[in-house]
């Protein structure tokens, strides 16, 4: 199984200049190739990866684009392959039309294949560089693992990272168990399990909200443009956002690992977070809770370790349904956290929803995918509708 290992590194001034130049060339080639393919599409002509690769060779021979030959050619070719993948996703209706990469907003990265780097004895040498990267090895690579692809990136906070894609043979399915759990996500509590356990919401963004607001006010006062003061202020804002993101991801990583390790079947609700954040009032809290990231982590770890994740349809009335007698309440406003059913059972809203999700998910396992309110998620993939493929022009 292929697995990416991400580490932070600290480049020298020469390496930073070379990598920054490579990032700019990658962005330039991607945008020019996208423009060429868009113009060809308007003329009803077909342009694929091989043709854009030939066009890149012609660009390098021109006087105004001769600087493209000064950097490694592998990241430039990889940019064309990524563009080909973006068009393939667009024509398969899995994504929108590819967009041009912005110098300020797009991720600065370059991908190197095995022909453009050398990894020996813990030292990584990239093409066009004499010295190895100074990598902080926060964890060892799997024994005998050799990187097949290396991606170097710089985030908006100015931090440098290298991601190594390796074949990891240490990932093996965990011993099967008979435990299953329903998981209800929320804002007061990040997760509520069908066992009755409630996991607190750390609210990472709220902890740094005052500091973030101050940094954003200072940024807004700087003169518009590419001045040094505005660049420094923008980086201070980016560092606060990076700290919030790191804390949130670390918490979710530990949480999902525990859930996957302790349970064979995990049942969640198929929420449309993208639509939910359109409501301005809870949007900030929903984004801070990172429900989509939680689901993504849960799915790929379940695929690794032989667990099963089942998503219950978003229209399933998990909160209004009595988990004891099955009676459906007429209304259940969000401010009602505890309610009593006609059968006499008193329910905590979130625990009751988690129990109903578990019951609905187990019905899928027993009865199969024909049960309408639920959907089974294939290992490592989200449950999405099958969409008709369109042939690329």
Catalytically active residues, by annotation? 184, 269, 350
> Backbone phi, then psi, for 142, in 5-degree steps?
-55, 150
Backbone angles phi, psi at 339, to 5 degrees: -145, 155
Question: CA angle 227-232-235, nearest 5°?
Answer: 125
Chain length of the chain: 393
Of all helices (H) and strands (E), which one includes residue 191?
Answer: strand 189-193
Q: Which two tokens stand for residue 17?
A: 């200049």
Angle at which helices 49-60 and 13-42 cross, to 10°: 120
* DSSP β-ladder status, 338-340 and 189-193: unpaired
For residue 362, the number of C-alpha atoms closer than 13 Å in the C-beta half-sphere is 14
Do residues 338 and 346 lie in contact, with contact meaning Cβ atoms separated by under 8 Å? yes
Nearest-angstrom CA–CA distance, 267 and 352:
14
Asked if residue 181 lies in contact with residue 259, where contact means CB atoms within 8 angstroms, the answer is yes
Three-state DSSP class for residue 158: coil
């Amino acid at each position: 199984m292929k697995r990416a290992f991400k580490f932070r590194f600290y480049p020298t001034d020469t390496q930073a200049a070379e990598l920054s130049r490579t990032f700019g060339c990658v962005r330039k080639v991607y945008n020019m190739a996208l423009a060429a393919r868009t113009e060809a599409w308007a003329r009803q002509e077909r342009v694929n990866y091989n043709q854009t690769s030939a066009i890149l060779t012609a660009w390098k021979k021109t006087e105004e684009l001769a600087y493209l030959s000064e950097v490694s050619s592998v990241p430039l070719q990889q940019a064309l392959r990524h563009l080909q993948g973006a068009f393939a996703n667009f024509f398969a209706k899995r994504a929108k039309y590819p967009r041009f990469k912005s110098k300020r907003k797009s991720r600065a990265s370059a991908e190197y294949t095995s022909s453009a780097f050398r990894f020996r004895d813990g030292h990584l040498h990239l093409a066009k560089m004499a010295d190895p990267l100074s990598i902080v090895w926060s964890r060892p690579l799997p024994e005998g693992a050799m990187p097949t692809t290396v991606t170097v990136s710089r985030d908006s906070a100015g931090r440098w990272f290298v991601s190594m894609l390796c074949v990891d043979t240490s990932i093996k399915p965990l011993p099967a168990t008979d435990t299953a759990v329903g998981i209800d996500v929320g804002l007061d509590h990040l997760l509520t399990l069908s066992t009755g356990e409630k996991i607190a919401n750390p609210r990472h963004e709220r902890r740094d909200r005052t500091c973030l607001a101050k940094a954003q006010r200072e940024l807004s006062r700087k003169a518009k443009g590419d001045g040094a003061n505005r660049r420094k202020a923008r980086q201070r804002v980016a560092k606060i956002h990076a700290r919030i993101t790191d804390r949130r991801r670390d918490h979710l990583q530990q949480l999902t690992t525990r859930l996957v390790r302790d349970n064979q079947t995990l049942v969640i609700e198929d929420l449309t977070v993208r639509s939910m954040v359109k409501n301005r009032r809870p949007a900030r809290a929903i984004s801070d809770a990172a429900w989509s990231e939680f689901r993504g982590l849960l799915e790929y770890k379940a695929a690794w370790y032989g667990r099963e994740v089942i998503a219950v349809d978003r229209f399933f009335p998990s909160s209004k349904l009595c988990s004891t007698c099955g009676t459906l309440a007429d209304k259940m406003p969000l401010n009602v956290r505890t309610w009593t059913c006609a059968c006499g059972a008193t329910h905590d809203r979130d625990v009751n929803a988690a129990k109903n999700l578990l019951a609905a998910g187990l019905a899928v396992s027993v009865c199969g995918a024909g049960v309408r309110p639920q959907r089974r998620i294939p290992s490592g993939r989200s449950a999405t509708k099958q969409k008709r493929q369109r042939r690329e022009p």
